[in-house]
Protein backbone atom coordinates (compact mmCIF):
# COMPACT_ATOMS: atom_id res chain seq x y z
CA UNK A 1 0.00 0.00 0.00
CA UNK A 2 1.25 3.48 -0.86
CA UNK A 3 2.36 5.31 2.30
CA UNK A 4 2.84 8.68 0.61
CA UNK A 5 -0.31 10.81 0.93
CA UNK A 6 -1.80 12.11 -2.29
CA UNK A 7 -0.58 15.51 -3.46
CA UNK A 8 -3.88 17.17 -2.49
CA UNK A 9 -3.23 16.28 1.16
CA UNK A 10 0.32 17.65 0.95
CA UNK A 11 -0.61 20.85 -0.85
CA UNK A 12 0.21 23.95 1.28
CA UNK A 13 -3.08 25.63 0.39
CA UNK A 14 -5.00 22.55 1.52
CA UNK A 15 -2.91 22.41 4.71
CA UNK A 16 -3.56 26.01 5.76
CA UNK A 17 -7.28 25.66 5.07
CA UNK A 18 -7.33 22.50 7.16
CA UNK A 19 -5.63 24.35 10.03
CA UNK A 20 -8.23 27.11 9.74
CA UNK A 21 -11.00 24.54 9.86
CA UNK A 22 -9.52 22.98 12.97
CA UNK A 23 -9.39 26.38 14.66
CA UNK A 24 -13.06 26.83 13.82
CA UNK A 25 -13.90 23.38 15.24
CA UNK A 26 -12.10 24.12 18.52
CA UNK A 27 -13.83 27.50 18.78
CA UNK A 28 -17.27 25.95 18.20
CA UNK A 29 -16.53 23.17 20.72
CA UNK A 30 -16.13 25.90 23.33
CA UNK A 31 -19.35 27.56 22.21
CA UNK A 32 -17.62 30.82 21.28
CA UNK A 33 -18.51 33.13 18.43
CA UNK A 34 -15.84 34.47 16.11
CA UNK A 35 -16.20 37.85 17.83
CA UNK A 36 -15.57 36.28 21.25
CA UNK A 37 -12.45 34.40 20.15
CA UNK A 38 -11.15 37.45 18.30
CA UNK A 39 -11.58 39.62 21.39
CA UNK A 40 -10.01 37.05 23.71
CA UNK A 41 -7.01 36.58 21.42
CA UNK A 42 -6.53 40.28 20.63
CA UNK A 43 -7.03 40.06 16.87
CA UNK A 44 -9.73 41.55 14.69
CA UNK A 45 -12.85 39.56 13.86
CA UNK A 46 -12.13 39.97 10.14
CA UNK A 47 -8.66 38.49 10.63
CA UNK A 48 -10.11 35.53 12.51
CA UNK A 49 -12.65 34.98 9.74
CA UNK A 50 -9.84 34.85 7.16
CA UNK A 51 -7.82 32.54 9.39
CA UNK A 52 -10.71 30.11 9.81
CA UNK A 53 -12.05 30.23 6.26
CA UNK A 54 -8.87 30.40 4.17
CA UNK A 55 -6.05 29.77 6.63
CA UNK A 56 -4.69 33.23 5.91
CA UNK A 57 -2.94 35.10 8.69
CA UNK A 58 0.41 35.54 10.32
CA UNK A 59 2.18 33.04 12.51
CA UNK A 60 1.85 35.55 15.35
CA UNK A 61 -1.94 35.57 15.02
CA UNK A 62 -2.05 31.78 14.80
CA UNK A 63 -0.03 31.63 18.03
CA UNK A 64 -2.38 34.06 19.79
CA UNK A 65 -5.44 32.04 18.82
CA UNK A 66 -3.69 28.78 19.74
CA UNK A 67 -2.90 30.03 23.24
CA UNK A 68 -6.50 31.09 23.87
CA UNK A 69 -7.81 27.73 22.60
CA UNK A 70 -5.22 25.84 24.71
CA UNK A 71 -3.60 24.46 21.56
CA UNK A 72 -0.21 26.07 22.13
CA UNK A 73 1.26 22.75 23.32
CA UNK A 74 0.51 21.21 19.93
CA UNK A 75 2.00 24.23 18.19
CA UNK A 76 5.18 23.97 20.28
CA UNK A 77 5.38 20.25 19.63
CA UNK A 78 5.24 20.82 15.89
CA UNK A 79 8.92 21.82 15.75
CA UNK A 80 10.23 20.38 19.01
CA UNK A 81 11.63 17.10 17.70
CA UNK A 82 14.71 16.39 15.71
CA UNK A 83 14.34 17.03 11.99
CA UNK A 84 13.75 13.94 9.90
CA UNK A 85 16.35 13.30 7.23
CA UNK A 86 15.52 11.74 3.89
CA UNK A 87 18.79 9.88 3.48
CA UNK A 88 22.12 9.02 5.07
CA UNK A 89 23.78 11.59 2.82
CA UNK A 90 21.48 14.31 4.19
CA UNK A 91 22.55 13.42 7.75
CA UNK A 92 26.22 13.61 6.80
CA UNK A 93 25.71 16.91 5.03
CA UNK A 94 23.94 18.38 8.08
CA UNK A 95 26.86 17.35 10.30
CA UNK A 96 29.47 19.04 8.11
CA UNK A 97 30.86 22.32 9.33
CA UNK A 98 32.70 24.95 7.40
CA UNK A 99 36.28 25.64 8.33
CA UNK A 100 36.89 29.04 9.88
CA UNK A 101 37.85 31.65 7.34
CA UNK A 102 41.47 32.61 7.20
CA UNK A 103 42.54 36.10 8.06
CA UNK A 104 44.74 37.82 5.54
CA UNK A 105 48.08 39.16 6.84
pLDDT digits (tens, 9 = 90+) for 15-73: 889 999 999 999 999 999 999 999 999 999 999 999 999 989 999 999 999 999 999 88
- Is residue 105 a part of any domain in this protein? no
Domain membership flag for residue 68: yes
> Higher confidence at residue 31 or residue 5?
31
Q: Is residue 104 part of a domain?
A: no
Which residues span the domain enclosing 74? 7-95
CATH number of the domain to which 71 belongs: 1.10.260.40
In this prediction, residue 76 has a pLDDT band, given cuts at 50, 70 and 90, of confident
Asked whether residue 102 is domain-assigned, the answer is no
Q: Is 101 among the domain residues?
A: no
pTM over 0.75: no
SS3 46: helix
pLDDT of 80 above 80: no
Task: State how far the alpha carbon of 14 is from the alpha carbons of 31, 33, 72, 91, 100, in Å.
Answer: 26, 24, 21, 30, 43
Report the alpha-carbon distance of residue 105 to residue 43 in Å, rounded: 56
Q: Does residue 81 carry a pLDDT above 80?
A: no
* Tally of structural domains, the chain: 1
Does residue 103 fall inside a structural domain? no
Amino acid sequence: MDKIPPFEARNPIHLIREIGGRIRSHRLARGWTQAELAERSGISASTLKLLEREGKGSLQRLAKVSVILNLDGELRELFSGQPAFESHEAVEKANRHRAPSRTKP
